[in-house]
């Protein structure tokens, strides 16, 4: 009996399946890595000027746009948020893992803006930012 040889899949269908596989994307703001599908990574890159940023940072970037007195572009909001991340990192120094601290700091900023009267009312009905993030992720997937 001849052994059944399994050919290496090199067809368009296999490529398509490959795009459904998860890979690690690194946030260009805070350096957090997230496991995402290639399609999701692509969606974020398109939205944020070719940069991949994590869910929390994208939330913070939206926030920069909302709280800005002038109309700013997504690119400018990313730049603002990136400088915030860098300032935070240099203020705290190089701890073994700065990410949890940065996330806490960002959550505080977001919470503060949610409490402010300028925040959109619809955002107040969202129970948690994590839930909102999940909804958005599902919408983008
Ligand atoms: Zn981030």
Prediction pTM value: 0.53
Taking the centre of ligand 1 as the mean of its atom positions, its distance from the CA of residue 69, in whole angstroms, is 24
| Angle, helix 129-140 to helix 55-67, in steps of 10 degrees | 100
Q: What pLDDT is recorded for position 14?
A: 60
Give residue 88's pLDDT. 84
Q: What pLDDT sits at residue 82?
A: 93
Low-confidence stretches of the chain (pLDDT beneath 70): 1-3, 5-20, 93-98, 114-141
Structure confidence at residue 126 (pLDDT):
47
Cα(20) to centroid of ligand 1, in Å? 23
Convert 93-120 to b/e letters by CB count within 10 Å (16 or more is b): eeeeebbeebeebbeebbeebeeeeebe
Distance 13 CA to ligand 1 centre (A): 33
pLDDT value at residue 26: 94
- Residue 2 C-alpha to ligand 1 middle, in angstroms? 53
Note the pLDDT of residue 83: 93
> pLDDT tens digits, residue range 52-90?
999 999 999 999 999 999 999 999 999 999 999 888 878
Residue 26 CA to ligand 1 centre (angstroms): 8
In this prediction, residue 119 carries a pLDDT of 46
Task: Determine the distance separating the centroid of ligand 1 and the alpha carbon of 6, expressed in angstroms.
Answer: 41
């Amino acid at each position: 009996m001849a052994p059944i040889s399994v050919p290496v899949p090199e067809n368009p269908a296999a490529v398509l399946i490959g795009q459904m596989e998860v890979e690690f994307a690194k946030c260009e703001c805070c350096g957090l890595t997230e496991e995402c599908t290639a399609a999701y990574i692509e969606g974020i890159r398109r939205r944020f000027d070719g940069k991949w940023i994590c869910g929390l940072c994208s939330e913070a970037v939206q926030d920069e746009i909302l709280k800005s007195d002038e109309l700013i572009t997504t690119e400018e909001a990313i730049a603002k948020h990136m400088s915030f991340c860098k300032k935070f990192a240099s203020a705290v120094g190089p701890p073994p893992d700065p990410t949890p601290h940065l996330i806490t700091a960002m959550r505080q900023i977001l919470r503060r803006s949610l409490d402010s009267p300028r925040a959109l009312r619809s955002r107040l009905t969202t129970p948690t930012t994590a839930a909102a993030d999940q909804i958005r992720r599902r919408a983008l997937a």
